[in-house]
Structure 1
Amino acid sequence: MSLSARSDYDAYVVLRNHDFRLFLAMRFFLTLGIQIQGTVVGWQIYEMTKDPLSLGLIGLTEAIPFMALILYGGHLADLYSRKKLIVYTLMGYLVGAGLLFLFTLQPGDFLHQYGTFPIYAVIFMTGIARAFSGPAVSSFMPELVEKSQYANAATWNSTFWQTAAVSGPALGGFIYAIAQKWLPHVFHSSKTASNFNYGTVVSYGVVVLLVIVSIACVLFITKKPIEHKITQETLQERLGAGLRFVFRNQIIMGALSLDMFAVFFGGAVALLPIFAEKILTVGSQDWGILQDGATRLGLLRAAPSVGAAVMGLVLAHRPPLYNTGKRLFGYVAGFGLCMILFALSENFYLSFLILIVSGALDAMSVVIRGTILQLMIPYEMRGRVSAVNSIFVGSSNEIGSFESGLAAKLLGLVPSVVFGGTMTLGVVGLMSRVLPQLRDFELAKYTVSEADENKQST
């Protein structure tokens, strides 16, 4: 039966699955912590350097180990227990968050002496953890639900992730601002006089607790017996098989490439601390909480995910089954246009609204791409293909951040973001012509039974 022809479609079927709920909780709390950490790290480094290129280097520092190890991480995810791999990598996140907490707790011993180097070192370590957690998490989800529920699971997975991404930056900015404003008056000590930053200390402490909770969620997921095919393939042969599968499929390859270039050129997240402090200021008559730059930064970083979370709920009930490919190109083009409008806006509230719209458009493309991958990837190859997907999509965020910082350094802040949005529109126009299979793709024509047969034959 076609996905579009099912009259008994249940939008909440996967939420009644105990293990899947724990999986969603794990991703929610982990993402919440990562978003808080990313917001505070960006603000902390900008306060220390006042340099846009330093913000771009945050992404590059994480992308280098991530890209170097991601394929091997996918290889391991196809050979060993994905649940155990997730637990081990979450421990890596926990160590990183703990180090940031300790560095900030004793700034005179670390940050005042070594500058931003200790922070970049932790970011590098986080990139290593991401290289192994990404494929394991992405390929673990299909083990928890029925094959007929993949599209529904992908939608809720994206929705919960986006909800955490909404809460994380805003919560990070709020925690930072409140702790920095009130705690110095509560704790009258010499730490206040030595530039002790209560905002970063409390924020990183919250991140540590959130990562611990995410580890607990994984541990309570019922252990699933996994049957791995016995193979004599070498590591090189197995990685090559995953790469060939992606590059020979125009639909998968096109969807990944489109998202990669859109994020690479169109993203402006790395530059938001500068927009929050220097361009999108508010008047004295506005809400007092918006007078703080960290709070404005948190709200701006949360805005795209506000739109994404709302759109995720819509897509859970109305999945994009018809004209899927054409919609995908349209959503990415709309995202690029939003970036241009954001760059030209000098009003905080208008910019906040534009970012909400950009997040809604991005969520539509994420759900489409995620559903395509879940339906078309064979089970025994999920880890490796997920690793390739992460190279295209995940690394483009970090490298895109570096590109944003470099472009801002060379062209100026506003022109660099306008340039990125314009390049995104150009990429959409070009790829819509050279990828006809993706342009004409429709999920409604791809039945669950056909997907199962494709997995078995592959």
Structure 2
Amino acid sequence: MSTEPLYLRRHRPFVAFWFARVCTASGFQMLTVAIGWHMYSLTHDVLDLGLVGLVEFLPRVLFMLHTGHVADRYDRRKVAALCQTGQALTALALVVGSLNEQVTRELIFILAFVLGACRAFEMPATQALLPNIVPASLFPRAVAASASAMQGATIVSPALGGLLYAFGSFWVYAPSMALYLAAITLMLSLPARAQKPRQEKASLNSLLAGIRFIRSRRDVFGAISLDLFAVLLGGATALLPVFARDILLTGPWGLGLLRSAPAVGALLMSFWLARFPIERNVGRTMFTAVGVFGVATIAFGLSTSFWFSLAVLAVLGAADMISMVIRGAFVQLETPDEMRGRVSAVNGLFIGASNQLGEFESGVTAAWFGTVPAVVLGGTGTLVIAGLWIKLFPTLARRDHLHTPKIE
């Protein structure tokens, strides 16, 4: 009989899941910093930075109907591990290319597409896996704790990636590959009983089920679409290399700190939310957080001080974490387990659109209007969207609890 304390045995799967998230998030963030700086060093074109985001986003659209079905039908652990293997091979290709000095604009676009495809299948699998690991009563805390893994990695890894890039791109791409290998090992260590795969065959009806479910739940649709349009307009991540190099007059180490700053605020907020979960006035709190996100975006766009820029990015990250935890817990708790993969895939498309497609939007508007006006306009657009969504989804804005259990 095992002498290991019962609470440790119960929490071991979540701990392994948490560290797997840390590793895969760290590897991706380091890759993102290096690829962004590498591309801008090659072309000095802000539009190319936006195109990288667009290329990475395309697989979410192309494979949207299949990613969720795969997560619902097959072992989610193995799906996630296979996707992490693809990302490790992407990092390996960049390692080889860096050693041979053959990393080109075209190669970056190709690998960005592969990276996006892997992440498109990984996201619904990992999101749908979490509710199988923790009980529903602890799920909001688990979402915050899981998010802290992402944000903790996002604090350290971009700064580390920027620092290592000073010694050469190889020194960023190689550790990224090692982190993905660690994530694969941890993901496969999760117990197989965490999910019972469904044997339903792929059909148009089953593939579209996630879309129909979201459309039938107005508050769920409102929460997901709010994130899509608010971050689509307000995201300035793709332009950080321009701010670091041309406006704030720093180098790759500065870019790493700028990438890390939102995660500092988000990590601190995730710790707070894990300890003190939001249980009342969730709708009002979510919309307030989106408004703060928009104001912080405008402040960042107007800043010419490196340290003030870091501060407002930290506020931006904290506000985004509040919105993300509320939305993530709400959507998962409102979704039956057999639908979570497909709903997570649609949710992942919206998140991908707000992030990767938002990077493309930032690159286009920066090319048209200039870098600073593009960010200020984006933050203003976020505020407009928040106000409009309060009018369009009044029940969401007035929502008090994340989930109301059904009365039997």
Q: Which residue identity does 1:364 align to in structure 2?
A: I
Residue matched to 2:13: 19
Q: Cα–Cα, structure 1 residues 313 and 15, in superposed 2: closer, same or farther, change >3 Å?
A: farther
After superposition, the C-alpha distances for 1:88-112 in whole angstroms (9 at most, x for unaligned) are 11110111010011111101xx23x
Residue matched to 2:196: 227
In the alignment, is the contact (CA less than 8 A) between 1:14 and 1:152 conserved in 2?
no
Q: 2:234 aligns with which of 266, 274, 277?
A: 266
Q: 1:68 aligns with which of 62, 72, 97?
A: 62
5 Å matches for 1:161-172? 161-172=150-161
Aligned residue pair count: 402
Distance of 1:31 and 1:293 partners within structure 2:
23
Distance of 1:333 and 1:405 partners within structure 2:
23
5 Å matches for 1:393-412? 393-412=351-370
Distance of 1:77 and 1:224 partners within structure 2:
15
Distance of 1:381 and 1:262 partners within structure 2:
26
- How far the C-alpha of 1:14 sits from its partner, in A, is 9.5
Q: Which residue identity does 2:116 align to in structure 1?
A: G
Residue matched to 2:43: 49
- How far the C-alpha of 1:345 sits from its partner, in A, is 0.7
Distance of 2:357 and 2:9 partners within structure 1:
35
Distance of 2:225 and 2:401 partners within structure 1:
19
Q: 2:268 aligns with which of 310, 316, 319?
A: 310
Residue matched to 2:126: 137
Distance of 1:16 and 1:308 partners within structure 2:
27
Is 1:218 paired with 2:187?
A: yes
Q: Cα–Cα, structure 1 residues 15 and 374, in superposed 2: closer, same or farther, change >3 Å?
A: farther
Residue matched to 1:104: 98
Distance of 1:376 and 1:216 partners within structure 2:
31
Q: Which residue identity does 1:209 align to in structure 2?
A: A
In the alignment, is the contact (CA less than 8 A) between 1:170 and 1:301 conserved in 2?
yes
5 Å matches for 1:253-332? 253-281=221-249, 293-332=251-290
In the alignment, is the contact (CA less than 8 A) between 1:14 and 1:153 conserved in 2?
no
Q: Cα–Cα, structure 1 residues 234 and 136, in superposed 2: closer, same or farther, change >3 Å?
A: closer
Matched residue of 1:322: which SS? coil
- How far the C-alpha of 1:318 sits from its partner, in A, is 1.3
Q: 2:334 aligns with which of 376, 380, 384?
A: 376
Residue matched to 2:3: none
Q: Which residue identity does 1:238 align to in structure 2?
A: S
Residue matched to 1:159: 148
Q: Cα–Cα, structure 1 residues 225 and 339, in superposed 2: closer, same or farther, change >3 Å?
A: closer
Matched residue of 1:442: which SS? coil
- How far the C-alpha of 1:240 sits from its partner, in A, is 2.1
Distance of 1:144 and 1:69 partners within structure 2:
26
Distance of 2:30 and 2:78 partners within structure 1:
25
The structure with the larger Rg is: 1
- How far the C-alpha of 1:299 sits from its partner, in A, is 0.2
Matched residue of 2:278: which SS? coil
Is 1:58 paired with 2:27?
A: no
Q: CA RMSD in A?
A: 1.7
In the alignment, is the contact (CA less than 8 A) between 2:92 and 2:177 conserved in 1?
yes
5 Å matches for 1:354-373? 354-373=312-331
Q: 2:406 aligns with which of 439, 444, 450?
A: 450
For normalisation by structure 2, the TM-score amounts to: 0.95
In the alignment, is the contact (CA less than 8 A) between 1:98 and 1:204 conserved in 2?
yes
Matched residue of 2:169: which SS? helix
Matched residue of 2:209: which SS? helix
- How far the C-alpha of 1:407 sits from its partner, in A, is 0.2
- How far the C-alpha of 1:235 sits from its partner, in A, is 1.6
Residue matched to 1:341: 299
In the alignment, is the contact (CA less than 8 A) between 1:15 and 1:21 conserved in 2?
no
Distance of 1:422 and 1:225 partners within structure 2:
43
After superposition, the C-alpha distances for 1:274-331 in whole angstroms (9 at most, x for unaligned) are 10011112xxxxxxxxxx5100000001000000000001111111111110111110
Distance of 1:390 and 1:79 partners within structure 2:
17
In the alignment, is the contact (CA less than 8 A) between 1:150 and 1:374 conserved in 2?
no
For normalisation by structure 1, the TM-score amounts to: 0.85
- How far the C-alpha of 1:146 sits from its partner, in A, is 1.7
In the alignment, is the contact (CA less than 8 A) between 1:337 and 1:421 conserved in 2?
yes
Q: Which residue identity does 2:150 align to in structure 1?
A: W
Is 1:118 paired with 2:74?
A: no
Residue matched to 2:4: none
In the alignment, is the contact (CA less than 8 A) between 1:56 and 1:402 conserved in 2?
yes
Matched residue of 1:450: which SS? coil
In the alignment, is the contact (CA less than 8 A) between 1:152 and 1:316 conserved in 2?
yes
After superposition, the C-alpha distances for 1:418-445 in whole angstroms (9 at most, x for unaligned) are 110111111011110110110011226x
Q: Which runs of 5+ in 2 are unaligned?
A: 1-6
Residue matched to 2:175: 206
- How far the C-alpha of 1:83 sits from its partner, in A, is 1.0
After superposition, the C-alpha distances for 1:181-221 in whole angstroms (9 at most, x for unaligned) are xxxxxxxxxxxxxxxxxx20111011011111111111222
After superposition, the C-alpha distances for 1:34-64 in whole angstroms (9 at most, x for unaligned) are 0000001000100111110010011011111
Distance of 2:155 and 2:39 partners within structure 1:
22
Distance of 1:226 and 1:122 partners within structure 2:
31
Residue matched to 1:425: 383
- How far the C-alpha of 1:225 sits from its partner, in A, is 6.0
Is 1:89 paired with 2:83?
A: yes
In the alignment, is the contact (CA less than 8 A) between 1:14 and 1:145 conserved in 2?
no
Runs of 4+ in 1 over 3 A off after TM superposition: 13-16, 225-231
Q: Which residue identity does 2:81 align to in structure 1?
A: V
In the alignment, is the contact (CA less than 8 A) between 2:65 and 2:208 conserved in 1?
no
